[in-house]
């Protein structure tokens, strides 16, 4: 049974993988972490496009994937349109910061978006933001270094950067002029949502896109007649960098004991 490919510049896409496996328990998955070339979020579009192309070619050639989830906001914003054009026979699901559900749920009309600098500077994000102009006051917060801290299991760094960027995202609350909704615009960030929430009131809403992406993947597979049935699916973890980092991340963030391959 052909697998579904999932890729990210590193381990952040594991948050999306968790949602995919919950939504599609019978599917086989191949997760590819491009850690040797990370982080994407602080690189230019040309770099991200070339790496995305290389990863997709690998997943198609070596694993015969039947669908692809780009579990990386930066790769989606820079490359998804080209990847779809170059792979018209492959269903591809991308990510974008969850502004739509955030605008729908905010009561104060003030939203902050935590994301990489690459995502926030992209034309795709600008178009998304423009589509909600007038609907809410949206504050971008580029979180330089947070992905690297998460990838490196740097607890002190995660704590310090979470405090810094949440301070920039506030003030939080339910009163006029206060931010009541925060969009987690990078797949790494849901992995540290508990740390981020330490710097906000319990009423603050965090929005991430793992579940909607999983639901969209199900719809695409169903429409193509490719939904798996029967036994539980398998999982293969691969990395272009240090496989031990991916194994440790899967164990730490998802509670999975899975051997990774290069």
143 flagged as catalytic: no
| CA 230 to chain centroid | 28
The single residue of 78, 147, 161, 186 carrying the catalytic annotation is 186
Options 72, 99, 128, 221, the catalytic residue = 72
Alpha-carbon distance of 152 to 174, in angstroms, equals 35
Asked about 72 being catalytic, the answer comes back as yes
Q: Report the alpha-carbon angle 255-261-262, nearest 5.
A: 130
CA distance 90 to 69: 10
Please give the positions annotated as active site: 72, 186
């Amino acid at each position: 049974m052909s697998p579904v490919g999932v890729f990210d510049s590193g381990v952040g896409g594991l948050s999306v993988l968790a949602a995919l496996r919950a939504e599609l328990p019978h599917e086989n998955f191949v997760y590819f972490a491009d850690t040797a070339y990370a982080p994407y979020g602080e690189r230019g579009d040309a770099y991200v496009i070339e790496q995305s192309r290389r990863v997709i070619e690998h997943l198609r050639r070596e694993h015969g994937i039947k669908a692809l989830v780009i579990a990386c906001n930066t790769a989606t914003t820079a490359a998804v349109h080209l990847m779809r054009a170059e792979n018209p026979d492959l269903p591809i699901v991308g990510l974008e910061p969850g502004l739509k559900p955030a605008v729908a749920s905010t009561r104060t009309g003030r939203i902050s978006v935590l994301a990489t600098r690459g995502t926030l500077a992209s034309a795709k994000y600008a178009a998304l933001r423009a589509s909600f102009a007038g609907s809410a006051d949206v504050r971008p917060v580029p979180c330089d270094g947070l992905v690297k801290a998460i990838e490196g299991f740097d607890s002190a760094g995660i704590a310090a950067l979470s405090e810094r960027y949440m301070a920039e995202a506030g003030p939080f609350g339910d009163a006029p002029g206060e931010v009541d909704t925060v969009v987690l615009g990078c797949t790494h960030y849901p992995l540290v949502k508990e740390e981020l929430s330490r710097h906000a009131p319990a009423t603050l809403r965090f929005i991430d896109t793992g579940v909607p992406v999983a639901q969209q993947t199900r719809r695409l597979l169903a429409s193509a007649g490719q939904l798996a049935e029967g036994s539980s699916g398998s999982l293969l973890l691969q990395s272009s960098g240090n496989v031990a980092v991916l194994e440790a991340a899967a164990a730490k963030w998802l509670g999975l004991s899975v051997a990774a391959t290069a």
